[in-house]
Structure 1
Amino acid sequence: MRPFSAAEREQRLVRMQNSEYDILIIGGGITGAGIALDAQTRGMKTALIEMQDYAGGTSSRSTKLVHGGLRYLKQLQVKMVADVGKERAVVYENGPHVTTPEWMLLPFYKGGTFGALSTSFGLRLYDYLAGVKREERRKMLNVDATAAKEPLLKKEGLLGGGTYVEYRTDDARLTIEVLKKAVSAGADAVNYLKAEKLLYDNGKLTGVIAKDSIDGKEYRIMARQIVNAAGPWVDELRAKDHSKRGKTLRLTKGVHLVFDGARFPLRQAVYFDTKDKRMIFAIPRDGKTYVGTTDTDYIGDTAYPRMTEADRAYLLAACNEMFPGVRLTDRDVESSWAGLRPLIYEEGKSPSEVSRRDEIFTSPSGLITIAGGKLTGYRKMAEHVTDLIAKRLPVGSGPAWKPCSTRTMPLSGGDVGGSRAFPGFVRRMTAEGERLGLSGAEARLLTERYGSNVSELYRLAQEWRAEEAHGLPRIVYAIVRYSIESEMALKPVDLFIRRTGALFFDIDWVRTYKGQVIEYMADSLRYTEADKQAYAAELERELHAAVTPEDREEPDDAGEADYIAGSKTDQRSGEAAGPNV
C-alpha cells in the first residue's frame, strides 16, 4: 500500500475499522495534522479523520503568513506574540519549501495609528520577543526611503516607515506536508470521513461511528483517547458529547482579494492601517497581489463562507486609499477566498479585539478539545495537547512515551539541509529537471513547491505518455498524479484549491485544464458518471464563488467601517509561480 494514495483509501478505511488506536483525532486542519505528527512520533498509535478534504476549512483560507501577530502588541498580548513569534523560525527551518521570508513594510502617516516612535519601539520589541535573527531585524526608513521601497504608496501625509520580516506560506500545503510526515511515521489518516456518532463505555468516550461522504458507508473506529481538533466545528462535536458549556466559539470571517500583478504591480509587501484602525496586508506572490483581511462576525454555513459585496467594497476602498494610483474596481478582482477564524468568545469585544490564543478543554467523557490559536503556533499547540495525552494514557509494560521531537523535525519535503541550504538545493534540482527535459521554470516551480519530494515528481514526469494523460501536459500530469498517489486528492477541487492553490492564484490555469484533470481523475479513481458530474459541478461552484460576491444585501445602515469592525453581524445562510500550477 502506498503511504497516502487516494486509490487505496478504502483499504485504509477497512484497516482503521479493524484496529484500535491510542489516539483518534477529529479534524484534518493544521492543528489536527500537528497533533497527529507529534503523537505518532512519540510512539502513540494515531488515526485522523476529516469530514472535508485536509485543510478544507480555515487551514486553506488564512492570510497565508506564518507570522507572530505584530498587531497583538497593541492589545498587550505579549506572551502570545513571544510564543508564536519564536515558532516562525521553527516552521521555516522544518519546511523551507512551504515557508518563505517576506520583508514587510509598515508605513506610518500623519494622523495614523502609528508614528515613528511607536513603530520603532513596537518593531524592536517584536524582534526581541520573537527572537529574530540579526539579519532579519527591523529597519527604520525616512520618507524618501519608504516611498522608494514601494512607489505605489500614498505620498500625502507619509512620515516614514519600518521594515521587518514575516514568513509567507502556502497554508494548505503546509498542512498536507505535516500530515504526510505523520503518515510516513505510521499514522492513519482519511479525508471525507465524518464522525457521525460518539461511542461510550460506562460514560467514557471510546470511539466513533464515521460516515464516508464518498459512498455513504459507515466505519467503527476505536481509540483510547479522542481529540476534537475540528476548528470551526469544535462546538458541534462538544454538543454531541453533551459537554458544550462554559467557553464557546465565536466565528469571524476573513476575506482576501487577488489581483493580477500587471494591474496591481506591488513590489513590496505592505502592512497598513485603515481609517477604522484595522490592519491589512497587501502581498505580492507569483505574479499576483493579494489583499486582506476583513474581520466580521459570522453566522451561516460553516463549510462554505463567501465574499459579499460589502467585503469586496471594503478591501477595494482600503487599497485605493493606500495605493491611490492603482484605482482598482470590482472588475480587477481575479479571485478571492473567505475563511473562518474559530476564536474563543469574549464578552464585549469586537472581532478584531478577540484574542487569538488557544485553549484546551477536557470533558467528563474524556474528550479533549483544542480551540482557538493561530496557524503559526500549530506545533506548540500540538505539543501541549500531546503532553496532556501522554499524562492521561498509561503505556502498559512498555517504555514511556517519547518526548516531543517536532521542533527540529523536517516536514515531508523538508529534507533539504535547512533553510540556508534550500537555495542551493533549488539550483541543483532545477538543473536536474532541465536535464530530464523540463523547462527551467517548470523544474524550479516543482522544486520550490515539493522540496525534497521533487524527485518523485520528476519520475512521474518521465512516465508521461500522451495516450494515457487525457491531454494533460507533462508537468500538469506529474502534479495531478502525485496529488492522487501521494497526497490523497480525491476530487478536482482538492487539486485546484488545496494541493496547488491555483484557484486562488492562477484561476486561468484552472479554467484551462479543468476538463482534462476531471477526465484523468475519473479514469484513475474510477468515478461513476454521477461522481464525475457532481465533482465537475462542485468545481464550477468554487470558480463562481471566487469571483462573484454572495447574493445578499447588507442592511441599509451598515456602513463599511461599522460592518468590518463587527457592529453588524454577518448573517447569512450560504451554500453548503511561472504558471502557478
Structure 2
Amino acid sequence: MNRIASLDRLKNEEFDICIIGAGASGAGCALDAVLRGYKVALIDRKDFASETSSRSTKLIHGGVRYLEQAFKKLDFAQLKQVRHGLEERHTVLKNAPHLARPLALMTPVSSWFEGLYFKIGLQMYDAFAINDTLPKSKWLSKSEVLAKMPTLNKTKLHSGVLYYDGQLDDARYCLALAQSASESGAAIANYLNVDGFEKDKNGKLTSAGLTDVITGENLHVRAKLFINCTGPFSDAVRLLANTTLSERLRPSKGVHIMLPPETLNSEYAMLIPKTSDGRVVFAIPFEGATMVGTTDTENDELNAEPTLNQQEMQYLADTLNPYLAKQINISDLKSGFGGLRPLLAADPSKSTKSLVRDHEVEVDAASGLVSLLGGKWTTYRLMAKDTIDQADEIFARQNACTTDNHILAGGENYSFDSWKTLSDKTGLLEDISQHLVKKYGSRASLIGDIVLAEPALKERLVAQYPYIKAEVIHTVRHEMAVTPRDFLARRIRLEITDWNETLNCLPEVAALMARELGWNEEEKRKQIDAYAAEIRKFISDAR
C-alpha cells in the first residue's frame, strides 16, 4: 500500500463506491466490493483499525453469553447472532491462518450441577457450529483442569468444561483486509478526515470534502455511492449527510487490562461465567501477557479516547481473583485499553449489555448514503456482504460474493514452519522468526530481505520481546504506517501489552520512521512528545 499513490488516485479519479471508515467492516466492504468489480476508495480519519476494531477481546466466536440469554429469555435475535457468529468463525480462521487460530477456553466450575449446566450449554454451542473443524467441548476433572491451568484456586474448584473458539490479532487482521483490497485495485488511504459532502440537484451525495490530517491539505473524492462504516461514530457521518436523521447508536465502553503471563501460566484461556453485572469475563493469553476483559458501561464521550480507570480495573481484578490461588493486585497492571461498541438501540430503556450485537444496513433515501450499523468482529464478512449486496441492488447489478474463500494478504501458501527457513536464511533467533511468520505470514520473507540488506536492523526494539527494527522499515514501506503509534499500537501490539516498554523504544522507532519518511529533527521530536504524552495519560488515568 502506497499512501502517496492512493492520494493521487483519490484526487483525480471518480469511484463507484467510497467507503468511509477502515475498521473491520469498512475494510471488509472494500475487499468485497472490489472483488465484485467495483472501483473502490477506502478512507479513514485515523489509521486502519485505530478505534473499535483494534480494541476487541481478540476472540472469534458465536457468543456463549448470547446463547445462554437466547434460551433463558426465548430471544431468537440472540440465537440468530450465535448462529451467524459460529458460521463465520470457520471463515475468519481459514482466510488468514497466520493471524487467527483456534483457542482452547476453560470454564472452571464449583459443583457437579454447575458443571452439568455448562457442559449441556456448550454442547449446544458445538451443535450450532456446522461444518466446523474445531474440537468439541469436554467436561474435565479437577486434576485435568489443574494440569492445564495450575494457578487456579484448588479449594473452590470442582471441575471444568473445556471448549474452543478462535483468537485473532484484530488490528493486523483488519490491515490484511485493507492490504488485500488494495492489491485487488482499491485506492486506500489513512488519515483523511471527512469534513462534509457535496450533493447534486436531487440531494444525492456526489463527493466528500476531505482534510489530509498529516499535511493539512484539502481535497475532494468523487463517488457514485458513499458507504458509512464508522462504527460508534456512524451517527456523525449520517448527520453530516442528512441533518434530519435521528441518531441510531448507543455506544458502550469496554476495557481490558493486561497482566503478567504468570497470572494464568497457561496456553489456555479462561471464561468466567459469573460476574456482578451479569456479563462474562475472559482471561486470555495474548502477545506475552494475560488479557482480562471486558466491561460494559454507557458512554457518550465520543470525542475522547476511552481509557482505563480505577473502578473498571478493580472490577476486573475482583472478578478474576476468586478463581486464582494467588490474588492479583491492580498494581501488577502492565497496560490496558478501552474501546467503544457500536450498539444499535431501538429501545432507549434497555441497558447496553442487553443489546444484541447484530447489524443493519441503512439506506438514506434523501442523500443516498448507505450506513452499516452495529455488528461485531466475528461477523465482519457477513456484514460486508449484506452491505455490498445492497450496493448491487442500488447499481442494479448481480455480483457474486467471493470473500468466503478469499485468502488474505500474508495467508497465501502459509506455513508456520517457514520460520525455520527464515531463521536459517537471516540468522534471526527462533522467537523472532516465529513472531514474524505469525504476524506477516508468507510475507515475513520481505522483512528477512531488509535484514539481509542491513544487518543492524535485526536488533530487537525491546530486550524481552521479539519485535525488531526491520519491522519499522517494512511497515512504513508496505503497510502505510505513518506515525509511531501506527507501528507500536497496531502493526505490532506493544502499546496494549506494555506501556513502559512502549515508552522505552519510542525514540528508536521514531528515528527509524524519520529516516523513511523524511522527518527533520523538529518533526521527529514532535512525534515522540505527542505519543509519549498519550501513553503517560493512559498510565495516569489507570493510577
TM bracket, shorter-chain basis: over 0.9
Equivalent residue number for residue 249 of structure 2: 249
Structure 1: runs of 5 or more not aligned: 395-399, 417-421, 552-581
1:506-517 pair list within 5 angstroms:
506-517=498-509
The residue identity in structure 1 corresponding to 2:291 is: Y
Contact 1:30 1:59 in 2 (8 A): yes
Q: 1:244, 1:68 → 2: CA distance?
A: 36
Tell me, what secondary structure is at the counterpart of 1:548?
A: helix
Q: Is the 8 A contact 1:307 1:336 kept in 2?
A: yes
- AA aligned to 1:336 is G
Corresponding residue for 1:432? Answer: 422
Q: Distance in 1 between matches of 2:178 and 2:22?
A: 8
Q: 2:315 corresponds to which residue?
A: 314
Of 523, 543, 561, the match for 2:515: 523
Q: How far apart, CA to CA, are the structure 2 residues paired with 1:134 and 1:520?
A: 43
Amino acid at match of 2:65: R
1:569 alignment counterpart: none
More displaced 10-residue stretch of structure 1: 58-67 or 340-349:
340-349
Q: For 1:428-464, what per-residue CA distance to the aligned partner results, in whole angstroms no more than 9, with x for missing partners?
A: 3423322322112211111111111112111111111
Percent of matched pairs sharing the same residue: 33
Native 8 Å contact 1:471 1:516 kept in 2: no
2:454 maps to what in 1? 464
How far has the Cα of 1:507 moved from its partner?
4.1
Stretches of structure 2 lacking an aligned partner (at least 5 in a row): 71-77
Mapping for residues 112-131 of structure 1, pairs under 5 Å = 115-131=114-130
Cα-to-partner distance string for 1:195-234 (whole Å, 9 max, x where unaligned): 1011100211111001111111111101000000011110
Return the letter of the residue paired with 1:491: T
Equivalent residue for 1:99? 100
Is the Cα contact below 8 Å between 2:95 and 2:406 reproduced in 1? yes
State the match for 1:390 in structure 2: 392
Helix, strand or coil at the partner of 1:249: coil
Aligned 8 A contact 1:35 1:386 in 2 = yes
Q: Which residue of 2 aligns with 1:544?
A: 536
Number of the residue aligned with 1:573: none
Report the Cα distance in structure 2 between the residues aligned to 1:116 and 1:24, rounded to whole angstroms: 50
Whether the 8 Å contact between 2:135 and 2:164 is mirrored in structure 1 is yes
> Over residues 335-362 of structure 1, what are the superposed CA-to-partner deviations in whole Å (9 max), with x where a residue is unaligned?
1000110101233222211111011111
CA, structure 1 residues 375+472, in 2 after alignment: closer, same or farther (shift >3 Å)? closer
Aligned partners of 1:469 and 1:520 also within 8 Å: no
Q: Distance in 2 between matches of 1:515 and 1:383?
A: 42
Q: CA deviation at 1:544?
A: 2.0
Q: Letter of the aligned partner of 2:151 in structure 1?
A: L
Q: Which amino acid aligns with 1:89?
A: H
Cα deviation 1:276-335 (Å, max 9, x = unaligned) = 332100012343211001110112144511111111111111121221x22211220001
Higher relative contact order (CA closer than 8 Å, sequence separation 6+): 1
Residue-by-residue CA offset, 1:364-404 (whole Å, 9 max, x unaligned):
2110001110100000100000011011115xxxxx55411
Task: Determine the structure 2 residue equivalent to 1:334.
Answer: 334
SS at match of 2:343: strand
Structure 1 residues 124-133 or 209-218, which shifts more? 124-133
Post-superposition Cα deviations, 1:461-512, rounded to whole Å, max 9, x if no partner, equal: 111154x999979972320111101110000000000100111224454334
Shift of 1:149: 3.1
Per-residue deviation, residues 251-278 of structure 1 (Å, max 9, x unmatched): 1111111112235534421001223332
2:417 counterpart SS class: helix
1:66-105 matches, cutoff 5 A: 66-76=60-70, 77-105=78-106
- 1:55 alignment counterpart: 49
Question: CA contact under 8 A between 2:451 and 2:458: conserved in structure 1?
Answer: no
State how far apart, in whole Å, the 2-side matches of 1:547 and 1:508 are.
Answer: 9
Q: What secondary structure sits across from 1:211 in the alignment?
A: strand
Indicate if the aligned counterparts of 1:226 and 1:368 stay in contact, CA closer than 8 A: yes
Query: Aligned with 1:415: secondary structure?
Result: coil
Supply the AA of the counterpart residue of 1:373.
G
Q: Contact between 1:107 and 1:161, CA under 8 Å: does it hold in 2?
A: yes
1:33 pairs with 2:27: yes
Query: Number of aligned pairs?
Result: 529
Q: TM-score, normalised by structure 1?
A: 0.86
Cα distance in 2 for residues equivalent to 1:153 and 1:83: 33
Find the aligned partners of 2:12 and 2:425 in 1 and give their Cα distance.
47
Normalising by structure 2, what TM-score? 0.92
2:335 maps to amino acid: S
Structure 1 pair 374–472 and aligned structure 2 pair: CA distance change class (3 A): closer
Q: Which residue of 1 aligns with 2:363?
A: 362
| Cα separation, 2, equivalents of 1:109 and 1:538 | 48
Please give the alpha-carbon distance, in whole angstroms, between the structure 1 residues aligned to 2:459 and 2:244: 50
Q: Are the equivalent residues in 1 in contact too, given 2:148–2:266 (CA < 8 A)?
A: no
Q: Which moved more, 1:149-158 or 1:385-394?
A: 149-158
